[in-house]
């Protein structure tokens, strides 16, 4: 379900595309394996924090084979600057071993296979498919969930329903762009506690979904 009408949704997307023409994944990576690992590590942690530790991580463990053989203690020492680092260390070692055992070390281009990997949920799988393989998907993280329901692109109370509402409201060829643009808008303008409505390019269209204007 959405709040905005179709012409308004079209306008919102047009504005987002104009304001953020180069919107893309903020996680630094060189291949789909690195993308998968960084997205797993980014859960409940900022992309900036992951980008700070990933160069050393991939210098020591450049592929699934190397990471699968990593000692947990050594990996934890690299990851300790990010949240839930012990659990994440365990997950990416197990994930890498699964890639070797079942996929010859390669990341599968299949949603159902991706979500079976340790530490991989719906959002992570969608990011990997869209960014790594160009498959149209809308990954709903905290920014996308907040903005979609605040602006009126969706009117839902959970992540899955928000994703389904966005998929229905937005043309499929614009899913990836809209996902990245909403994230950038959430980081740059529309904060969780203090949305910067003054000067926001979407201000006249945004329904704010009960959120008060910034005074």
The encoded tokens of residue 165 equal 């509402």
The CA distance from 120 to 105, in Å, is: 16
pLDDT at 187 over 70: yes
Q: What is the pTM of this model?
A: 0.90
Please state, in angstroms and rounded to a whole number, the distance separating the CA atoms of residues 106 and 26: 22
Q: With 60 as the cut, is the pLDDT of residue 214 above it?
A: no
**What CATH code would you report for 6-23+138-210?**
1.10.1670.10
Q: Is 212 exposed, middle or buried (0-12, 13-18, 19+ CB in 10 A)?
A: exposed
The pLDDT of residue 160 is above 80: yes
From the candidate CATH numbers 1.10.1740.10, 3.40.190.10, 1.10.340.30, 3.30.230.70, the one assigned to the domain spanning 32-133: 1.10.340.30
Model pLDDT, residue 67:
98
Given a cut of 60, whether residue 94 has pLDDT beyond it is yes
Q: Among 68-77, 107-116, 161-170, 187-196, whose mean pLDDT is lowest?
A: 187-196
pLDDT tens per residue across span 3-19 = 899 999 999 999 999 99
Asked if residues 37 and 69 have their Cβ atoms less than 8 Å apart, the reply is no
The label of the residue with tokens 């947990």 reads 72
Do 183 and 141 form a contact (C-beta atoms < 8 A)?
Answer: yes
For residues 188-196, average pLDDT: 90
Extents of the domains making up the chain:
6-23+138-210, 32-133
- Active site positions, annotated: 123, 141
pLDDT value for 210: 43
Dihedral of the alpha carbons of 112, 120, 187, 211, in degrees to the nearest 10: 70
């Amino acid at each position: 379900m959405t709040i905005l009408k179709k012409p308004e949704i079209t306008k919102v997307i047009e504005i987002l595309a104009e304001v953020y023409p180069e919107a893309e994944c903020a996680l630094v990576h060189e291949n789909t394996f690195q993308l998968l690992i960084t997205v797993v590590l980014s859960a409940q942690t900022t992309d900036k924090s992951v980008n700070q530790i990933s160069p050393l991580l991939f210098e020591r463990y450049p592929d699934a084979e190397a990471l699968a053989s990593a000692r947990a203690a050594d990996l934890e020492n690299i990851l300790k600057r990010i949240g839930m680092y012990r659990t994440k260390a365990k997950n990416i070692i197990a994930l890498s071993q699964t890639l070797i055992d079942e996929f010859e070390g390669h990341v599968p281009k299949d949603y159902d296979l991706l979500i079976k990997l340790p530490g991989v949920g719906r959002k992570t799988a969608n990011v990997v498919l869209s960014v790594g393989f160009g498959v149209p998907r809308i990954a709903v993280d905290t920014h996308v969930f907040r903005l979609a329901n605040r602006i009126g692109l969706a009117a839902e109370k959970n992540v899955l329903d928000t994703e389904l509402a966005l998929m229905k409201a937005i043309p499929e060829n614009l899913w990836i762009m809209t996902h990245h643009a909403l994230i950038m808008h959430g980081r740059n303008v529309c904060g969780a506690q203090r949305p910067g409505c003054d000067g926001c390019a979407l201000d006249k269209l945004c329904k704010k979904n009960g959120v008060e204007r910034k005074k």
